[in-house]
Homo-oligomer: A and B are copies of this chain.
Amino acid sequence: MCELLGMSANVPTDICFSFKGLRERGGKTGPHKDGWGVAFYQGKGVSTFKDANPSYQSEIARLISDYPIKSTAVVAHIRQANSGGVGLENTHPFTRTLWGRYWTYAHNGQLQGFETLPVGQHYVVGQTDSEHAFCYLLNALEQQFPVAPLDMKLAFDHLASLCPALQQLGVFNLLISDGDYLLAYCSTKLHWITRRAPFGVALLSDMDVDIDFAKETTEKDVVTIIATLPLTCNEQWQEMRSGQAQLFRAGEPQ
């Protein structure tokens, strides 16, 4: 399977601490050695770093662990391949445009019978069930809203309504964002935590690293982290239920 990591924040925030923990699971403390990727939104723009090599050994992943790239929405993924070979075209997250926005998506799980899901003009590039399901979701969005809805929350509500049917095809843990909203859907495993003042010290589960968020933040900062499994060992993460969708915006659960 794979692991997901997402962030939604009300001020540009780096994800170094959380990514450092996730990176360990990409071949060292976890088996997810078949590539990794992370997309950072800044305004309407997005930059996606991907590598088909294990994150634990990747120099690019090391840089992202250490170098603060400030963003208000992040979607990251480490891969243990099941459907589709190891290669950049099968490495998450996937990014596409719709309605003049960049949509970024990462999936943890495995789907059966995905090949018949209609994708319209949103052709699949690689060979994964994951990318196929992404193209299906974008096509379904475009069918429902030929032009962008005035309230983008309606688009995310529609996306959430499509997830239970995908879950019926297997395992479908999802992160999807347009850089403003971030939707998480839990099929089997997904956790989140919202950090806000008063901030405290957090300890990573996967390595002996801690951070005092009080020194890194202002009192107004609100930052939500979503991860397959909790990344810290001394904080209370929310465990999502199977079939539960949770939308975030500017760090706040919606």
Contacts and interface: CB of A to CB of B under 8 A. Distances in A.
Interface string A1-44: 00000000000000000000000000000000000010001111
A59 B51 contact: no
Q: In the assembly, how many copies of this chain are there? A: 2
Contact of A88 (B46, B98, B123): B46
A87 interface: yes
Chain A at the B interface: SS class? mixed
A108 interface: no
A89 B45 CA distance: 4
Interface residues of A, number: 37
Contacts of A95: 95
A63 interface: yes
A102 B125 contact: yes
A127 B101 CA distance: 12
B97 A45 contact: no
A143 interface: no
A99 B123 contact: yes
Interface in A85-118: 87-91, 95-102
